[in-house]
Amino acid sequence: MQEQASPKATSADLALAFGSFLLYPARHLLLKNNEPVTIGSRALELLITLTERPGELVTKDQLTARAWPKARVEESNLRAQIALLRRVLGEDQAAPRYIVAVPSRGYRFIAPLTRSRVEHEPVKTTAPNNLPKQLTRPIGREEAIKTVEGRFQRFRLVTIVGPGGIGKTTVGLRVAEQLLSSHNGHCFVDLAPITNSQIVPSVLASQLRLPETSGDPTASLIGHLRGKRLLLVFDSCELVLEATARLAETLLREVPEITILATSREALRVEGESVYRLPPLDTPPSAAGLTAAYALEFPAIRLFVERATSSGSGYTFDDDEAPVVTHICRQLDGIALAIELAAARVEAFGTHGIAELLNDRLRLLTGGRRTALPRHQTLAAMIDWSYGALSKEERKVLRRLSIFAGDFGREAAVAIATDVTSPDRDVPGYLANLVAKSLVAVDAQRKAARYRLLDTTRAFVLEKVREEGELDAVIRQLATYLCDVLRHSQEEVETLSSEEWLSRHGSHINNIRFALDWAYSDHGDLEVGLAVTVAAIPMWYQLSLVDECLTSVQRALTGIGPGKRRNEYARQIMQLYRALGLSQAFKIGFAPQAPAAFAKALEISEELADVDAQAEALWGLWIAQVGMGEYRASLGNAERFMALAQSGLDRFIGDRMLSMTLFCMGDFRGARRHADMMLAHDVSAETASANSVRFRFGQSISARIQPAQLLWMQGLPDQAVKAVHAAVVAARESGHAISLCEALARWSCPVFVHVGDLPAADSAITELLDLAKTNALGPWEVFGRCWKAALLIQRGLPESGVPLLRRGLVELRQVKLFNLYTVRFLGFLAEGLSSLGQHVEARSLVEAAISASEEKEELWCVAELYRLKGDILWRGGDDVESVQQCYLHSLDVAGRQDALSWELRTTTSLMKLARDRGDIDRARTRLAAVCDRFTEGFDTADMVAAKALLTEFC
């Protein structure tokens, strides 16, 4: 290599020549034949690194460290940049002249290289580099910066688009800095203050320091810029969009050397434009156990924390703060400006205070940097600036769309934004304009596009709605629309799967809440509230929002006056009472209020001669009576329901009701008969989905699982487990939390406990507890804790299970939802007490359980209770005759009920008694005969124990 520079030459003085290229490392500039070469910053950095050590191996790690400082990237990124560099240099990979790869190690620069001292500037810049200096680094925008920078390899005009405050200017300035090395100069033009579109060319001319001219200076701009490789940055173009677009298109056509970077709320729509829509900053997904370390992987959180800690507030971010800050950033839609403004208020309010004050976010989010543009110093000013740029009609449509409290479809937008005073308004056209201007966000990934206003924008525009006096009229229009679509949605409950139904209608829930809050306010309308409440009942049950339904229904009933006014709304009142009964049951348990509400609904339905409504009220009465342990009354109402049944679907439900009640009463043969009839009904023509919800409940799911425990009783444990698995899978797929709780609580948990699959039982109980807690279904949570306690006792841990089950039984009696299992849990508790040596209390409990079962005709597990009593008497030292009588009575009941599994358990207990007495022959013969009657379930805990006893005394 030939060295021509003096020893005193500094790096700033050096130029490196190879082939037809001249490289100025300190200036990050590459020329070919004295013309600037367009090359990305990373590719140029790799070239500089290689030429620093000509002929030597530069490893992959060394190259990566230079091109991607403080970042971890895949090797493929390096290969891609080397390939780009080779294309710029005109390399032939088969016969390289400049760069050669050393397999698995790195690269060498192999061309002859001449160093020389530079006496003059290699290229004179033709415009001042007037890019504003960024005092803080962009956070979480690395991918956006990289993408926009890469677009300039293919396009001469790139526009960064997004709503106000999202960070368009920040990203644009960083990209412009990255492009410094590939341009002779930069010219930054802030168009935000410009309202007169005619002066846009003059503003650019002024920034380029051209002499003033009269008229349009565009011709002078073209003459000045021609032959110069400049990057023009047009920032905040939205107020003068058309003028900026005309100027950009003219310059791109007449001056082929320039490139343009623009930022705007909407695209310039110029030929050859590449539009990059800047997304919000990512926030962590909603999940329990969010840690600070994981949260900081998301840019919205990093931005908030960095701005909060740099404000001198002494703020510390830890695991406790992670969910609070995540909530704040999510509420602010990941908008960078809003997050920065919120972080600036940490010192005044703390993060918890900010989270509480977010409903008043426009007043909260003030106090930005004094050096920021006026419109960026408060959130309200920023949005007002965008709002003011809209046309009168666009503002009207935006105000009406702000009534939606979540996402909405095109039909909903037309229904609400069409004003009766101007029915010809082109709402779809204005909606498209608002999307283009980044004031309405769009999700086009679904079958039909969904739209929404960012929460920050909606809060501002809603205030404008109030100022214009439009709120009452728009909410009434929203209520009318909701009643119409929800009425239609109720018809589709039976014809769509839960997933399809929720996808189509689930987004209305926030609008329902908004409309009801207004209806029951001081300036609202109770009739609107009543109509929306009745229409929303299917929605609340589909979403398992029992608590919300109960509160809303009670509020609606309270708002209806007595006498004649009630008569006018009889059908709506009837629907409210039905919902009241079911909500009370699922929220507080089957106290007398639930059947009273259903009885009132039945009374009104009979007055209206509405057979379908009578059937639904009877179903509610039946489920309430089963829950309260009133089995004889529930049987009567199930029979009344069946007498009213007019369709296959209703007969299907009627057979389910009869099967359930007969099971509780210990009539397993009758229960099995109706279960088989239920499953034989073909209701496919009446319900399109196995997951549809009839009478607000997963009938098909319950039908699949209801026979499960019955199958176990009758000695078919494998079929029972299979039924449990199928029903739980269907319940999960339905997305209906109440149906899944029902499947887990009433059938999955007991079947797994009874067959002895304790790990599966533990998993089902855990899922039940989590699901009930998440959906605020308190009675199911109590039930889950009782099963947890029973499981501990079955695992031989009575010291943990007994106190837990004591507390659980107290709670279970309070919620009154699962009376069916109270006696069974008393049996588990007695069993646990006996294993702890507390035989007297254990005997008292099991005898109380037997007495309650026989008194209420709740006989489904009485055979097991008599067996447990025998076990307790035997452990407590009672006489053998008393013990044996308990076992024999248990066998008699089990035989009459066709309960083969209870019979196996009791016969095994008899065998153990005979073993201890030394008289095993007859007991062994009896146990062997019972085992031989089983055709499946040979791996269940009961069967394994019985076989072990038989083997012991063969």
Range among 464-473, 603-612, 872-881, 886-895 with highest mean pLDDT value: 886-895
695 or 678, which is more confident? 678
Contacts of 717 (CB under 8 A, 6+ apart): 711, 754, 755, 901, 936, 937, 940
User: Do 197 and 243 meet the contact criterion of CB atoms below 8 Å apart?
Assistant: yes
DSSP single-letter state for residue 345: T
Q: How confident is the model at residue 137 (pLDDT cuts 50, 70, 90)?
A: confident
Give the Cα separation of 765 and 749 in Å (integer): 6
Give the Cα separation of 28 and 453 in Å (integer): 44
Q: What are the residue ranges spanned by the domains of the chain?
A: 2-117, 142-277, 292-380
pLDDT value of residue 376: 45
Give the Cα separation of 478 and 818 in Å (integer): 40
Fold equal for 2-117 and 142-277: no
Cα separation of the two ends of the chain: 98
What tens digit of pLDDT does each residue of 787-809 get? 999 999 999 999 999 999 999 99
Pair of tokens at residue 447: 């079958």
Give the Cα separation of 206 and 229 in Å (integer): 18
894 pLDDT higher than 50: yes
Range among 87-101, 585-599, 627-641 with highest mean pLDDT value: 627-641
Please report how many Cα atoms fall inside a 13 Å half-sphere around the Cα of residue 497, on the Cβ side. Answer: 10
Alpha helices (runs of H) in 681-818, residue ranges in sequence order: 699-705, 707-713, 717-734, 737-742, 749-755, 758-774, 778-794, 798-815
Pair of tokens at residue 694: 């009839």
Selection from 364, 317, 359, 312 nearest residue 338 by Cα: 364
pLDDT value of residue 790: 96
CB burial string 490-522: b at 16+ within 10 A, e below: beebbebbbeebbebbbbbbebbbbbbebbbee
565 pLDDT higher than 70: no
pLDDT value of residue 668: 93
What tens digit of pLDDT does each residue of 489-540 get? 777 766 676 667 777 788 888 899 889 989 998 888 888 999 999 999 888 8
Q: Which long-range contacts (CB under 8 A, 24 or more apart) does 834-840 make?
A: 834/871, 834/872, 834/875, 834/876, 835/793, 835/796, 835/798, 836/798, 836/799, 836/802, 839/872, 839/875, 839/876, 839/877, 840/876
Alpha helices (runs of H) in 543-647, residue ranges in sequence order: 546-559, 564-568, 570-588, 593-607, 611-628, 631-644
The CA-based angle 325-326-328, given to 5 degrees, is: 65
Find where tokens 């342990």 sit. 629
Give the Cα separation of 98 and 109 in Å (integer): 6
User: In this prediction, what percent of the chain has a pLDDT beyond 70?
Assistant: 85
User: Do 149 and 179 meet the contact criterion of CB atoms below 8 Å apart?
Assistant: yes
740 pLDDT higher than 90: no
594 or 833, which is more confident? 833
Selection from 593, 587, 483 nearest residue 535 by Cα: 483
Give the Cα separation of 624 and 596 in Å (integer): 10
User: Do 657 and 622 meet the contact criterion of CB atoms below 8 Å apart?
Assistant: yes
pLDDT value of residue 277: 92
107 or 742, which is more confident? 107
* Pairing, β 21-24 against β 35-36: unpaired
582 pLDDT higher than 80: yes
Give the Cα separation of 437 and 264 in Å (integer): 8
Min mean pLDDT across 67-71, 254-258, 615-619, 921-925 is at 67-71
Question: Which whole number is the average pLDDT over 671-683?
Answer: 80
What tens digit of pLDDT does each residue of 858-871 get? 999 999 999 999 99
DSSP element (H, E) containing 463: helix 455-467
The CA-based angle 474-477-479, given to 5 degrees, is: 110
498 or 878, which is more confident? 878
Question: Which whole number is the average pLDDT over 439-457?
Answer: 77
- Averaged confidence pLDDT in the chain: 83
pTM of the model: 0.61
Give the Cα separation of 294 and 275 in Å (integer): 32
754 pLDDT higher than 70: yes
Question: Which whole number is the average pLDDT over 367-386?
Answer: 55
pLDDT value of residue 375: 46
* Pairing, β 2-3 against β 114-117: parallel
Q: How confident is the model at residue 567 (pLDDT cuts 50, 70, 90)?
A: low
Give the Cα separation of 75 and 98 in Å (integer): 21
What tens digit of pLDDT does each residue of 702-737 get? 555 567 888 999 999 999 999 899 888 888 877 777
Question: Which whole number is the average pLDDT over 320-327?
Answer: 90
The CA-based angle 931-936-938, given to 5 degrees, is: 65
pLDDT value of residue 752: 95
CB burial string 76-92: b at 16+ within 10 A, e below: eebeebbebbbebbebe
pLDDT value of residue 126: 41
What tens digit of pLDDT does each residue of 405-445 get? 878 888 889 989 887 656 666 888 888 888 887 788 887 66
Coil, helix or strand at residue 65: helix
Range among 73-87, 188-202, 890-904 with highest mean pLDDT value: 890-904
Domain boundaries 142-277, CATH class: alpha beta
DSSP per residue, 798-831: HHHHHHHHHHHHHHHHHH-S-HHHHHHHHHHHHH
Pair of tokens at residue 424: 């010809």
Pair of tokens at residue 149: 């920078």
pLDDT value of residue 250: 93
Pair of tokens at residue 709: 């425990």
DSSP element (H, E) containing 949: helix 941-952
pLDDT value of residue 41: 65
Question: Which whole number is the average pLDDT over 262-284?
Answer: 91
Give the Cα separation of 670 and 660 in Å (integer): 10
Selection from 657, 658, 751, 768 nearest residue 710 by Cα: 751
pLDDT value of residue 632: 93
What tens digit of pLDDT does each residue of 299-316 get? 999 989 988 887 666 788
36 pLDDT higher than 70: no
pLDDT value of residue 590: 59
**How many residues are present in the chain?**
954
pLDDT value of residue 212: 62
Question: Which whole number is the average pLDDT over 127-153?
Answer: 81
Pair of tokens at residue 884: 């044996």
User: In this prediction, what percent of the chain has a pLDDT beyond 90?
Assistant: 35
Domain boundaries 2-117, CATH class: mainly alpha
pLDDT value of residue 370: 41
The CA-based angle 848-710-946, given to 5 degrees, is: 80
Give the Cα separation of 549 and 555 in Å (integer): 10
Give the Cα separation of 664 and 821 in Å (integer): 10
